[in-house]
A and B are shown apart, each in its own frame.
Chain A
Amino acid sequence: MATATIERLIGKSIKRREDPRFITGRGTYVDDVKLPGTTHAVFVRSPHAHARIKKIDTTAAAKHPGVVAIFTGKDMTGVNSLPCGWLLPDLKVPPHMPLASDAARYVGDPVAVVIAETEDAALDAADKVKVTWDVLPAVSATDKADARTSAQIHEVAPSNVAFKWQIGDAGAVDTAFRNAARVVKKKIVNQRLVANPMEPRACLARYDAATGDLTLWVTSQNPHVHRLLMAAFVLGIPEQKVRVIAPDVGGAFGSKIFLYNEETICSWATRQIKRPVRWTSTRREAFQTDAHGRDHVTEAEMGFAADGKIVGLRVKTIANMGAYLSTFAPAVPTYLYATLLNGVYTIPAIHAHVTGVFTNTTPVDAYRGAGRPEAAYLLERMIEAGAAALKMDTVEIRRKNFIPKFDNGFQTQVALNYDSGNYAAAFDKLLRMLDYRKARSDQEAARKQGRFLGIGFSTYIEACSIAPSKVVGSLGAQAGLYESGKVRVHPTGGVTVYTGSHSHGQGHETTFSQLVADELGIPMEQIEIVHGDTGAIPFGMGTYGSRSASVGGTALLMSLNKIKEKGKKIAAHLLEASPGDIEYANGQFQVKGFPGKAVPFGQVALTAYVPHKYPEGLEPGLEETSFYDPSNFCFPFGAHACVVEVDRDTGQVKVLRYLAVDDVGNVMNPMIVDGMVHGGIAQGVGQALLEGAVYDKDGQLVTGSLMDYCMPRADNLPVLKVDMTKTASPSNPLGIKGCGEAGAIAAPVAVINAITDAIGSEDLAMPATAQTVWQALQKANNRREAA
């Protein structure tokens, strides 16, 4: 029998198997699913940021040709509030009804749904729904929400405070600051962002009156979570009667984790009218109703010893929750933000206080990085301010403060225990790639010609493999996030994998196939990956928080090991050997030391399904399921650098160079990791230079379309130079840390630090548009002239 070693695929840049169908336009997205008799839903939304609903008159609309049904909140009896899935102590949880019936609390808040034969008929009829509003005062600004004069948004939340939460040791920080050589203080704003995935949200709900089954196709990152929250918590339908399918999903970045009003309403409505109901968001609706990200206003203080060592950090953050608590909203500025404030530095004392506030704006929830970009931004702006105050080089001050290399555990001041890290190594590699000394001399030379160049750095740490149940449980969370993986071996040796992870751009069909191919020694063509269908996969938690490879991959690995163990028993029987003497290599089970005495994988599979010659007492079939709950988070880290040129006349910033060294632990597919990092950096540069959701004081969303909200485009970026260091994570057997969010975490502050370096002014807010930079230059000039 041939025993040629099969080439390992893990660690190789295998081209993505899913791409041919995507790039030839043959993916199946929710909007591509066509069912006979489908009706179309259009939502009547509030044009006001805050208004009491006095009356909704649907008479004229109901008479419009083609209208099938119109529902308001009053019709949705027996339906509960959309749940908040992550509770904090003393969290104020106001009701969030799918259709608001007492008052609308942000522009876009849905108050009625018009269902018609065609989308046009629904749109025309929706124009005829007359809502009588009693407009109330509104508040949109994060740092004004709890002012005495502000609008009161929910009865349960006096002064619009959703929660007050803290972590760390306030006393220790006080003491540290008393003994510090310098304490720098800064107001730091992390502006509100809109995720803007290419595919807008969409749903199609079908109730089968014959069986009582409900099927929901929805743009979701986690179909089981969608099903659990919607069926059990809101609509009160038994879960076994509901199937949620998230087919191809065109990007999400967090915004498709959450249970939204629209799919809930369509799922309820299809049961009323007994016909399928479809809704696909317009881009305008996406701006108004997809959960937004970030939106922190922070007062931060960092204390330094004379030699540049950090002695303490004090943080007071106000986090904008928007009008209601979205599914995971309270977790983001607490467990995913404040627990990361130790960064990659030795900080002996930390205290963070976070106030979550309600405003008359779109709800805010997790967006790529979720909390961790805010933490990285804060730390890296503060250390930069420290360098300026102490007149130290920004490289030197970072080097001085890195946590030294460790392999298995570092206890932070803010609850988390890091897995493994070698922060200085990543930074040093970055400096070599950049050629720091040359970059500084180029900067000086350019300055002599009147050109303003700037060099900026950032380092970051990320908590991935979200979320080990025990760890987050001990922090007060009422949920934990494991993952499932089922491996079904077919009688002829083909394999179908059913994963609870969900791919909406990540490339799981490729990376998971690589893992299976290596473990079983079979070609990728023999492997199919199924995801996104509660009717097919075991209960799964889905994809976000850079968790698929580390958590979903490990669950899969566990099942593969079980398959191999069972296969050994079958092979032993066939080979008349003892199971303990069987090993699995290169796609065959063989007797240790006798490679000639072997049976191929396919034969073992067939035997499992045609068990004439079979071990006594062993179940037929070859199919295994595993659930993996990680023991700890994984902590990827890295260092990024950016070189910019600022046009001193216009303030325009051009990113000349961008370099990154990320340590995401072991790597399954370097090309896919690079792609993830590239996309993340693009989004991070977007936050630094271009993006920002703006509300006016009345709560109108001024940046309501792509004409006003600026997404990064290819020509905003230079050719990116990315590299890695590899520090395996001890938290999971694959040694993977996670790469999905790294770029978006590290990039904003690298860019901003580069700009402040170029213009010699510390005062700069994101997005650093040309006007913002020009104004900062003017201010710096005026200060210089005054001095």
Chain B
Amino acid sequence: MKEIKHVIVLENQMIAPKMYSMALQSEEIVRVAKPGQFVNLYCRGEARLLPRPISICEINKEEGSINLIYAVAGKGTEEFSRIEEGETIEVLGPLGNGFMIDKSKKRNIVVGGGVGTPPLLELVKHLKGEIDVYLGFRSYPILVEEFERLGARVHIATEDGSVDFKGNVLELLKKENAVGDIIYACGPKPMLKAVAQWAASKNIPMQVSLEERMACGIGVCVGCVCKTKKQDEDDWQYKKVCKDGPVFWSNEVIWDE
């Protein structure tokens, strides 16, 4: 039977302002996890009831651990940031469907925005061929060396211009005349929407990993929906990000909400 597990926090350290890297020991998650899946982390006590969904950033087969990178966004993630190494945390996962990796594609474009970047690291480990990673941040880039170590070309945009290109990731894609056979992306919805429009104009198929507020993470509450087109029909429906996603083909998503 599945259950929420208390797992040991092997590492929990700040990697940038308000940004933490956490390693969790869990052979069980490592055995089945795929790039693009996420886990539910739970707060202590009952004041903050709902799970905090966090993407799996790396799956370390040898150590039997997973890595997560999270931003301190509110009370729950603030609590996580204070957990000491060696303590435990409640976790459920892996959850959702990961990226649908197409190894036949020769030129891969990977696009990340802010805290949407972490799940792309594990993804890149599984891609074949050329890999161009375009990342957008407000001011502090993360994971750049990690991507480079995997042989990817990394292109960076920062909103304040503190590192490399000043502007957003779409402007960077355009400026560098990015070419590719497929795009994998994760980040804030406005960014995904803009890149999806660009991808459509270039006829490049694109997968997007979406975020939505969740109550269960396992497909029962129908809280975490995104608006999608119905296949072969002139109609739409709400799909569950946690169970049907979080990764969707961008041309399935209706971006108006």
Partners in one complex: no
B-binding residues in A (CB < 8 A): none
